[in-house]
Structure 1
Amino acid sequence: MDPLSATASIIAILHLSAKVLTYLNDVKDASKDRAQCAIEASNLHSLLVSLRFRLEEGGASQPWYTTVRALAVENGPLDQFKQALETLRTKMTDGGRLKQAGKALMWKFKKEEIASIMARMERLKTLVEIALQMDNFKLSQAVKDDTSFVRTHVPVIQSGVETIRQEQDSIRHHRLLEWISSTDYPAQQSDIIKRRQEGTGQWFLDAPEVARWLNEAKATLFCPGIPGAGKTMIAAIAIDHLLELAQSSSHGVAFVYCNYQAQEEQDTSSMLAAILKQLVQGRLSAMEPIEQLYQRHADRGTRPSLDEIYNALRDVLAHYPSVHIVIDALDECHDGMRRQCLDKLRDLQARRNVRLMATSRFIPEIQDAFRKALRLEVQASREDVKRFVAGQTYRLPRCIQRDAALQEMVQEKIVEAVDGMFLLARLHTDSLLDKRTAKDVKSTLAKLSKGTAALDGAYREALHRIQGQLDGDRELAKIVLSWITFAKRPLTTNEICCALAVEPDESEVDPEKVPDVEDLVSVCAGLVVVDQESAVIRLVHYTTQEYFERTRDAWNPGGHLHIATTCLTYLCFKAFRSGGCSTDKEFEERLQQHQFLDYAAKHWGQHARAVEAEVANLACTLLQSGLLSCAVQVSEISDYKYRKYRGYSIRYPKITALHCTAWFGLASIAERVLSTVEEIATDAVNAKDSWGRTPLLLAAEQGHGDTAKLLLDKGANVNAQGGHYGGNALQAASEGGHEQQVVKLLLDKGANVNAQGGDYGNALQAASKGGHKQVVKLLRDKGAYARLDADDHMTSFHLFYWHSI
C-alpha cells in the first residue's frame, strides 16, 4: 500500500468521523458515556487530520512512510477505528433509516459495548501520536504490538459487530411485520391453549380425517359444530400440534381467529395480511415481498391493496414445501368477506401446497362451500367434558372439594346435561360457585337445563345470580356487560377501566375512580373472561353476545345511551381542547396517556346513532368546537402507528361538522348543524374536506341513506367528484354494496350511471370489484356499460364477473 492509499483511508475515516460526531452531539438524553465518546472521537479526529497532512507533505522513500502504511492494512488500526465508527453510526441511526425518518437519535449502548469502542479509539490514538513523533523504531514496535493484539481480538470484535447488526435487523423486521399487520393471533392462541384441560381434544388429533389433512397435498378439512361445542379449543389444539411439528420441519403454519366484534377490521385484506405476517415470521428470509410493499406505500401513508397482499402471500408461500392454514369461527366473519377470503385462499391452494382447515357453526352457505372437503364434526366427548369439570374442582366450594362422592356426582350430572357442549359445562360449573352445602349443590344439579334451550337457561341463571349481588356489584356488572356486548370492537382491560371511570360533566378522569379489572370479572358471574396475553376483556362466548342482544330491552335498555354519553364526555375533556397534535411524538404520547381515546374517537358516532336525540346537545359540543380535530386525527391515524415515516400523525383530513355527521349517518344532528352554519346550506353540503370529499360522498360510502337523502334535499351535487379515489358518491356506494340504502336513491336523484374517473373507473366497475351482484344488475338495468379500453382499469376477472350476471 502506497502513501496515497494510506492517505485515502484516513480521508474516508475523517468523513465518517465527522458524521458520527454530529450524531453524538444530537443524541437525546445524553449520558456520560456519550460525552466521553464524543471527546475521544474528536481528539482522534484532530490527530488524524495532522497525520494526513504529514503524509501529504513528505516523501515515500523515507523508512517512516513504510511503517505508517501498516496502519492502513486490512483489519489494521485504521480499519478497527472505522468499524468502531460504523458501530456507533449504525446503532444510533438504525443504519441511517431513523435519521431519514426524522426520529430523535437515542443512546442505546451497553457499558461493555462502549468500553470496546473506547479501547479501539485509545489504541489508534496512541499509534497516531507515536507516528506524529516521526520515531520510526518506536512506531514499528508499536505497530507490531498492536497487530498481535488485533490478530487475537478481531474474531471477538467482528462477533460484536455482527451481534449489533442482527439486533438492528430484528428491530427492522419487527417494524415491517407490524406495518403489514398489527393483529396478534399468536397471543390469542396462547390465551386459548392455556385454558385447555390436559388430555382433552386428543380424539380430534387421533381422527383419520386429521391424519389425511396433515399429510395430503392441498387437503381441506371442515370442522362444523353446534354453538359451544368447543370448536375454538379444537382449532387451538390443531394449531398447537402444527406449531410443534413445524419446529422439526420446514412446513409453514398460519391461523386466524375470526371474531364477531371485529368484523369491521377483519376484511379479506387484513386476514390475508395476518397470514402473510405469520409465514414471514416463520421464515425471515422471505421478507422481501413485505419490504417491497413497505417501500411502495409507507412514505405515502397508503396501504397495500388486496391484490398486492395476495401477490406477496403467493410469493412467500413459494418458500415453503407446504403450509397449513387454520381459520376458526368462519361463521363470525361477515358474509361477503367470508366468500371473498375463501376464494382467495382456494386460489392460493390451487397454486401452492396449502392445506386449509376451518371451523364453523352449521350455516348452510358455509357447509355448501366445503361440500368437497374432508369433514369432522366437533362435539365435546363425555370423557373430555368429565376431564374439564374435574379440572374445575379447585374453583368450587369446599363442600365439593372435600367430598369425592359429591365430586363424582357433579361430573356425572353435568356430563349428562350438556349434550356435547363445553360452554354449557362451563356455565353449569359456574352455577355451583355460590352453593355452600351439599344439599344446595344436589338441588342445583337436579335442575340443570338441557336441550336446545339450555344455553338461554344457563344465561338466565347467571343473570339471576348477578341480580342477587349487592347493589354496587349488580350495577357494575350491568354496565360491564353493556360495554362488552355493545362495543364495536374488542375492548382492552385498560380501555374498559378508563371508560368506567368517566363521570358526567367532568373534564378529566379521576384516578381514584378507575376500577380493578379483577373486580369486573368477579361481579359478572362467569360471563366475562380476560385474555391475559392480549389483555382483551370479552364475553365467554359468541352465544352470550347473541343472548344479550336478543334480551337487551329486558336487562339493560339504556346501554347505548350510557356508552354514547361516555364517549362524547371523554372526547370533550379539557386535555383535547388544543385540537390535533402537531408532532408524531405528541400524538403518540396522547394515545398512551389517554387509554380510551382511540375507541371513543372511532366509535362515538355509531353509538350515538342509536340514541341521536338524547345525545344531540353533547354531540354538537364536540362538533362545533376545536375538539373535533383531535377526534378526527385519532380516528384516521391511530391504526397506522407503526408507519414510522416523518409527520405521519398530521396526515389526516381537515373536515367540517357536516362531514363528520355524514360519515356516522347522524341525520338529525346533521340537520341541526345545517341550521347553525353561517354560509348558505347549498355551499355547506357541497363543501369539500382537505382530501376533496363531500359530505354526500362520505354518507354514500358508509351506506347512510337517510343522511344522503337529507344532503340531496339540501342541494348536494349528486355527481360531484373528489377524494383520494377521485370518484363520486355513486361509485363509493356501489363499491360498498349499498344497493337499497343509497345506490337507488342516487340514481333516482340523477346520478350519472356511467360517470368515469378515479381509481374506481365507474360505478359498474366499483360494484364488480366489491363482488356485489345485485348492485351490478341494478346499474346495468339503468344503462351502465363496461368499456374495454385501458383507462377503465377493468380487469379480466371483473369483466368475466360482469358478463356472468
Structure 2
Amino acid sequence: MKDPSVRDRLSKEMDVLCLEMEAAGLMNHFPCLVIRGICDYSDTHKNKEWQGYAAMAAAAYAKDLLNRTAPNRVEAEKKLTKVIDEGFAHGYLKGVHSLASASQSGVESLKVDKYLEKLRNWLSPPDLSTNYNKALEQRNPGSGQWFLQIEAYKAWKREPNFFLWLNGIPGCGKTVLSSTVFENLEKIEACSQNLLYFYFDFTNTEKHSFEKLICSLIHQLYYKSEKVRRYLDSPNSSFDNGRRRPSIDLLSTTLQNMLQQAGEVWIVLDALDECKTRKYYPTGGLLPWIRNLRDLQTNIHLLITSRPEQDIKETVEKLARNKDIISLQSDLIEDDICGYIRARVKQSEGLSRWHERPDMQSKIEATLVEKANGMFRWVSCQFDVLEHCYSPQEVEMVRATLPATLDETYARILENIPPNHMHYAKRLLQFLSFSERPLRIDEAVDAIAVDTASRPRFDPQNGSPIPEISKYCYSLVVLFTKKSNPYKDEMVTEIQLAHFSVKEYLTSNRLAKSIKMDFEEAAARASISEACLAYLLDLDQTCKPQEIIKSYPMAQYSAQYWTSHAIIAETHSETGFKLAIEFFSCKDSIETCLELYDIG
C-alpha cells in the first residue's frame, strides 16, 4: 500500500485503521487473533525506525490480554492440533499447507545453495566445462559412436564395479572420446544422478594435480547426492569454519566415505598422463588412489583414458582384465578419422578454392587417410599446411613430402617460421610452455611486444593485432574463448598450446640445435622473467592499480609470476640480473608490484 489516496478512501469507506500483511494468508481459514504493533504509515514513507518499539508494544499487549483471560475459557477451547486436523479434513488449510511447504522447500534450497557456494570457495574445484565443451566442438558429427556400441562399453555401464582403460598414442582422439562417453551417460537418468568426471590438462596448473581431482569429485558428488552431504559438515566446520583446507589424506578419506554411501557411481577420468602427481612418496598420488578405489566395497564404474605410459600401464594391468584394456589402434578409429578428413575437405573455408575441383579433393582425402596412422592431431596439422596451398602444384608438392610423425611435423612448422617472426614465436612458445596458467590473448600480445634492449622497453603501440598473434606459430597454438569465471557470463579469450604433444616436443631433447637452447627450462624462464621485469619497470607508476590493470593487461601476470620464473632461471641471464637490480632500486616499481600482486 503506497498510495495515500487509496489508503484514506479505504479508511473512510470501511473504517480501516491499519493494513496487516503477515497473517493475511491464515486469517480466512484459521481461527486466530492478530496482535499488531504499528510503526509507520501505510504509504511511501514506510521505514523501520520504530519497528522495535512496535514489536515491544504488541508483545506487552498480548501478555496483558492473556493475563485477563480466564483459565476455564482457555480449557474450553479446542486444541490447536485438532483445529488444524479439522481444517485439513474440510480442505480449508490445503492452500496454507502448500504455501508453507513451498516456503520451507525454498528456505532449504537457499541453505543448500549458500553452503554449496561456501564449499566451492573452500575446495576451489577447477572449471571442467571448458574442456568438455572444447572437446565437443572439435568432434566431427558421429565420431565416437562406434565405442558406444561395443560390448565392452555396454558391460562397463551395466555390470557393477567395472573398470575400463582407453589408451592410445598422442593425438588419437582420447579426450574427444571420453567426452562422448560423458555426454552419453548424461542422457541416461540412472547414470547421470551420480556421474562424476575430471580432465587433467597440461595447459592449466589447476588441472595438473591429484589434489584438485579429489576436490572436484567431492564437490560434484556433494551437489548430486543428498545422502553423502553429512560427510562434509565435520571436516568443513573443524578447519577454521572452512577457511583452511584439510590435508589431501583427509580429503581422500572423505571422498572414500562419500562414494561408499552414494551407491552406484560412474567416474570418467581423462588424460591421466597429464597429471603431475601420479605417484609421490611414500604411498600417495593418483595411481595408488585408483588402486585403493578398486579395493573398496563399492559399486563404482571407473573409466580412464591416457597414453600407455609405463607407470600407468603397470598399475592398470594389476587391476584389470585384458578385455578391460582397449588400445585405440588405427583400425578402431579409422572410420572416425576418415569422417573427419572427408568433412574438413568439403567444408573447410581454407580449402574452399577446391570445392569446384572434386579431383583435388579426392587426392587430398586419399593421401591423408593413407598416412594418418590413427592420429587426428597429425591430420589437423597437415590441413593447416594445405590451406596455404594456392595452386595444384603446391598441393602436389605437400602431398609428396608429408612428414611421417608428429615430431617431424612440429620440426617442419618451426623451420618454416619466417626469420622476422622467429623472435616473437619463440617468446610466445616459451610463455605457453612454462607459464603456471594459461595466458589471456591480451597478455600474450604485450608479452611479445616487450623489447628488453630498447627504451622504452614496452610500448603499447607495438602490440600485434589480436587476431594475428596466433599466426606467428600456426598449428602449434590455438585461441580458445571461455567464461572468465564459471559462475559469471563474462567471456575471455586465451591462447594455449594446441596439444600436449606440442609441449612435450618443445621441452624435449629432440628439438633442432638452432632453437634447442631457447627451450631449456632455465633459459626459457629467464626470458619470461626478463619480459615481466621490463614490463613492470615501464608501467605508468602515477596510475592507481586498477587503472594499470586496464591499461597494461600483463601487469598482474608479471607481478604474480616473475619471481617464480626468476628463481628457476637463477643467474642464467645477465640481462635478467641487471633488470632485477634496477627493479629493486626503484621503490615505486616495488610498491606497484606488491599492490598488483595483492589484487590477484
Conserved 8 A contact 2:389-2:395: yes
Partner of 1:482: 430
Conserved 8 A contact 2:198-2:213: yes
Q: Which amino acid aligns with 2:470?
A: V
* CA deviation string 1:368-417 (max 9, x = no partner): 21114211001343321121122223233332222223222211110111
Matches of 2:401 and 2:566 in 1, distance apart?
44
Partner of 1:568: 533
Secondary structure at the aligned position of 2:353 is classed as helix
Fraction of identical pairs, as percent: 20
Distance 1:55 1:514, change over 3 A: farther
Partner of 1:784: none
Q: Which amino acid aligns with 2:532?
A: C
Whether 2:354 is the aligned partner of 1:400: answer yes
Q: Unmatched 5+ residue regions in structure 2?
A: 1-31, 74-79, 82-92, 484-492
- Match 2:514 to one of 541, 550, 554: 554
Partner of 1:419: 373
Secondary structure at the aligned position of 1:42 is classed as coil
Matches of 1:365 and 1:612 in 2, distance apart?
37
Partner of 1:754: none
Whether 2:497 is the aligned partner of 1:539: answer yes
Instruction: Name the TM-score, length of structure 2 as normaliser.
Output: 0.72
Secondary structure at the aligned position of 1:40 is classed as coil
Partner of 2:408: 457
Secondary structure at the aligned position of 2:495 is classed as strand
Partner of 2:325: 375
Distance 1:156 1:353, change over 3 A: closer
Farther off after superposition, 533-542 or 439-448: 533-542
* CA deviation string 1:687-716 (max 9, x = no partner): xxxxxxxxxxxxxxxxxxxxxxxxxxxxxx
Conserved 8 A contact 1:269-1:305: no
Matches of 2:525 and 2:357 in 1, distance apart?
46
* CA deviation string 1:515-541 (max 9, x = no partner): 554322244222211333365422122
- Cα deviation for residue 566 of structure 1 reads 1.9
Distance 1:302 1:464, change over 3 A: same
The aligned length equals 518
Partner of 2:338: 386
Conserved 8 A contact 1:254-1:275: yes
Distance 1:159 1:192, change over 3 A: same
1:169-248 → structure 2 map (5 Å cutoff): 169-245=112-188, 247-248=189-190
Q: Which amino acid aligns with 1:548?
A: L
Q: Which amino acid aligns with 1:461?
A: R
Conserved 8 A contact 1:193-1:237: yes
Q: Which amino acid aligns with 1:342?
A: L
Conserved 8 A contact 1:498-1:596: no
Instruction: Name the TM-score, length of structure 1 as normaliser.
Output: 0.56
Partner of 1:519: 468
Distance 1:622 1:342, change over 3 A: same
Distance 1:402 1:332, change over 3 A: same
Partner of 2:263: 321
Distance 1:292 1:511, change over 3 A: farther
Distance 1:193 1:178, change over 3 A: farther
Conserved 8 A contact 2:200-2:271: yes
Partner of 2:447: 499
Q: Which amino acid aligns with 1:467?
A: P
Secondary structure at the aligned position of 2:195 is classed as strand
Higher relative contact order (CA 8 A, sep 6+): 2
1:708-723 → structure 2 map (5 Å cutoff): none
Secondary structure at the aligned position of 2:340 is classed as helix
- Cα deviation for residue 298 of structure 1 reads 4.7
Conserved 8 A contact 1:526-1:540: yes
> Please, what is the CA RMSD of the aligned residues?
4.5
Distance 1:53 1:541, change over 3 A: closer
- Cα deviation for residue 277 of structure 1 reads 1.9
Matches of 1:235 and 1:591 in 2, distance apart?
39
Conserved 8 A contact 2:386-2:395: yes
Q: Which amino acid aligns with 1:317?
A: L
* CA deviation string 1:657-695 (max 9, x = no partner): xxxxxxxxxxxxxxxxxxxxxxxxxxxxxxxxxxxxxxx
* CA deviation string 1:46-67 (max 9, x = no partner): 555555566667896599xx9x
* CA deviation string 1:546-603 (max 9, x = no partner): 2223427524837444311122234556678999x9xxx99x9999995425652563
Secondary structure at the aligned position of 2:269 is classed as strand
Partner of 1:738: none
Secondary structure at the aligned position of 2:268 is classed as strand
Distance 1:566 1:307, change over 3 A: same
Partner of 2:247: 305
Conserved 8 A contact 1:398-1:436: no
1:119-134 → structure 2 map (5 Å cutoff): none
Conserved 8 A contact 1:400-1:438: no
* CA deviation string 1:276-298 (max 9, x = no partner): 22222333553343343332335
Partner of 1:676: none
- Match 2:273 to one of 331, 336, 342: 331
Matches of 1:186 and 1:377 in 2, distance apart?
26
Matches of 2:598 and 2:266 in 1, distance apart?
35
- Cα deviation for residue 423 of structure 1 reads 0.9
Matches of 1:37 and 1:43 in 2, distance apart?
15
Q: Which amino acid aligns with 2:341?
A: V
Partner of 1:666: none
Distance 1:276 1:597, change over 3 A: farther
Q: Which amino acid aligns with 1:434?
A: H
- Cα deviation for residue 431 of structure 1 reads 1.0
Whether 2:303 is the aligned partner of 1:349: answer no
- Cα deviation for residue 490 of structure 1 reads 3.2
Secondary structure at the aligned position of 2:169 is classed as coil
- Cα deviation for residue 542 of structure 1 reads 1.8
Secondary structure at the aligned position of 1:399 is classed as helix
Distance 1:501 1:208, change over 3 A: same
- Cα deviation for residue 201 of structure 1 reads 1.8
Matches of 1:443 and 1:160 in 2, distance apart?
72
1:637-652 → structure 2 map (5 Å cutoff): none
Q: Which amino acid aligns with 1:346?
A: R
- Cα deviation for residue 198 of structure 1 reads 1.0
Secondary structure at the aligned position of 2:198 is classed as strand
Matches of 1:8 and 1:609 in 2, distance apart?
77
Matches of 2:407 and 2:170 in 1, distance apart?
12
Conserved 8 A contact 1:484-1:538: yes
Whether 2:557 is the aligned partner of 1:596: answer yes
Q: Which amino acid aligns with 1:480?
A: L
Q: Unmatched 5+ residue regions in structure 1?
A: 1-5, 18-35, 67-72, 75-149, 639-805
- Cα deviation for residue 478 of structure 1 reads 3.6
